[in-house]
């Protein structure tokens, strides 16, 4: 059992230690920034960065050294994956080289991530200085010398991202689960205490004299639990395409061992479509927050704010489009059909080759349609429920964060179970 496995306990302790170190970075602010100004701007619990603040667990709003978190690495990973699709032949060759090629791709991803981190950090610092320089920075009036401070701060934030990437790599090597995912989950979970505190303050302490507020409080909590259960069910749901092998002995099939299949998850794109859509919607709003009140800010808010009709519709469309794009990127029907043919395998009743590829495409399209609908519902739940119950901005019922936490929890639990079973099998053989 996992409880008796010392190796798993050691891995859990390593993971907890690395996540604790990551969380310490939240409290270390970058230099030349006024802490009082930060509290005045973001002390209300509302962040101008919206979804971009989720990955760092609020470190972006706090302007700490780990403000960017692993978001540049995630963006870099997605870019490298896209470039492998016959866009850059060299990257496709690396992808087919096995472990050596994978190491090359990993190194390239890290270098691109650091470049993106520097660009994002420099944009962030310069953007903040445009609107909040006098109240925000403590370096005085801008001069040619002080202009170098922007580059210095961008380098500090880039170094913070490099450190977080190093922690994520160590978690993957010595801890439990995927390091990048665990860093993201740690940032999300760190916001839960503040969320429940705001919920209690709003409906129990401040509004406790009204019976209706108490019912709203417990209704929201029960709704959260119900959504978590539904997300767990949907994340584990899959469609299995049965396959048979031409060289499988008839006796094996007779004994019921001919049960091979291709599992296709209902949500094969995972949370990537929502991350893409949320990021694209957040970037223009971040720019709008740096602008003074005017026509440009009004237009950006109307188009990209999910609380507005146009922004809401655009958000839904982006999620659906990215769901189909990433699902077919992850599971290439032509390549799957080719691999089956090489293994002398086939789908019963379907001819190998093009017909198999077409069949897998149809199944994947139907599954992706259900998965995209599920992602849209989960993504818009916080928007709708916040409007209905007038919840504080920090309280999110459903949404991207919940999918990430549940998905990582399921994968980590499966990894622990697998490690425990390997230990049992090895002990039995020995």
* Residue pLDDT, tens place only, 70-82: 888 888 887 887 7
Q: Which range among 56-60, 204-208, 354-358, 426-430 has the greatest average pLDDT?
A: 354-358
User: d(Cα 323, Cα 104) in Å, to the nearest integer?
Assistant: 28
pLDDT for 197: 80
Residue 104 scores a pLDDT above 90: no
Using one digit for the tens of pLDDT, what is the confidence trace for 204-262?
Answer: 776 555 666 777 778 888 888 888 888 888 888 888 888 888 766 554 444 444 558 88
263 against 143, higher pLDDT: 263
2 against 294, higher pLDDT: 294
Q: What percent of the chain has pLDDT over 70?
A: 78
Mean pLDDT across 166-173: 90
Using one digit for the tens of pLDDT, what is the confidence trace for 401-430?
Answer: 777 788 788 878 877 777 776 555 455 455
Q: Which range among 41-45, 213-217, 369-373 has the greatest average pLDDT?
A: 369-373
User: d(Cα 426, Cα 146) in Å, to the nearest integer?
Assistant: 62
User: d(Cα 129, Cα 136) in Å, to the nearest integer?
Assistant: 8
Domains of the chain: 1-190 (1.10.3370.10)
Mean pLDDT across 258-279: 78
**pTM of this structure:** 0.76
Query: Is the dihedral angle over the CA atoms 383, 386, 387, 393 positive or is it negative?
Result: negative
Closest CA to 253 of 262, 244, 242: 244
Phi-psi region of 293 (alpha: psi -120 to 50; beta: other; left: phi over 0): beta
Beta-carbon contacts of 180 under 8 Å, excluding residues fewer than 6 positions away, are: 70, 73, 74, 168, 172
pLDDT for 115: 92
Residue ranges with strand state E in 190-327: 238-242, 244-245, 261-265
Query: What is the bridge-based pairing of β-strands 238-242 and 261-265?
Result: antiparallel
User: d(Cα 21, Cα 182) in Å, to the nearest integer?
Assistant: 13
Closest CA to 31 of 122, 173, 150, 147: 150
């Amino acid at each position: 059992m996992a409880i008796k496995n010392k190796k798993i306990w050691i891995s859990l302790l390593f993971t907890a230690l690395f996540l604790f170190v990551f969380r310490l970075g939240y409290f270390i602010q970058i230099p030349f920034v006024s802490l009082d100004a930060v509290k005045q701007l973001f002390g209300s619990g509302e962040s101008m960065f919206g979804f971009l603040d989720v990955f760092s667990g609020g470190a972006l709003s706090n302007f700490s050294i780990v403000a960017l978190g692993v978001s540049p690495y995630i963006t870099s990973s997605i870019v490298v994956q896209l470039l492998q699709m016959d866009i850059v032949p060299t990257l496709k060759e690396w992808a087919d080289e096995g472990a050596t090629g994978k190491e090359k791709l990993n190194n390239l991803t890290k270098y691109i991530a650091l470049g993106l981190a520097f660009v994002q950090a420099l944009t962030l610092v310069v953007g903040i200085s445009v609107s909040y320089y006098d109240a925000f920075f403590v370096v005085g009036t801008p001069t040619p010398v002080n202009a170098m401070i922007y580059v210095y701060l961008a380098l500090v934030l880039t170094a913070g991202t490099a450190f977080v990437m190093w922690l994520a790599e160590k978690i993957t090597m010595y801890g439990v689960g995927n390091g990048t995912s665990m860093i993201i989950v740690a940032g999300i979970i760190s916001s839960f205490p503040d969320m429940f505190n705001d919920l209690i303050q709003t409906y129990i302490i401040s509004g406790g004299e009204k019976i209706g507020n108490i019912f709203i409080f417990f209704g929201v909590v029960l709704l959260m639990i119900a959504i978590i259960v539904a997300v767990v069910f949907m994340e584990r749901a899959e469609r299995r395409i049965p396959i048979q092998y031409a060289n499988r002995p008839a006796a094996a099939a007779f004994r019921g061992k001919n049960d091979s299949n291709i599992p296709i998850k209902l949500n094969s794109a995972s949370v990537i479509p929502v991350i893409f859509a949320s990021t694209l919607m957040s970037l223009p709003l971040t720019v709008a927050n740096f602008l003074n009140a005017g026509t440009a800010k009004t237009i950006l808010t109307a188009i990209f704010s999910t609380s507005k009709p146009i922004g809401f519709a655009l958000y839904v469309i982006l999620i659906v489009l990215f769901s189909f794009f990433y699902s077919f990127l992850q599971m290439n029907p032509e390549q799957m059909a080719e691999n089956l043919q090489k293994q002398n395998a086939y789908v019963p009743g379907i001819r190998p080759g093009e017909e198999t590829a077409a069949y897998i495409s149809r199944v994947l399209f139907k599954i992706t349609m259900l998965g995209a609908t599920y992602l849209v519902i989960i993504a818009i739940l916080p928007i709708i429920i916040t409007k209905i119950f007038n919840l504080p901005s920090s309280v999110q019922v459903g949404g991207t964060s919940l999918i990430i936490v549940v998905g990582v929890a399921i994968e980590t639990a499966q990894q622990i179970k697998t490690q425990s079973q390997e230990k049992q099998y090895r002990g039995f053989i020995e």
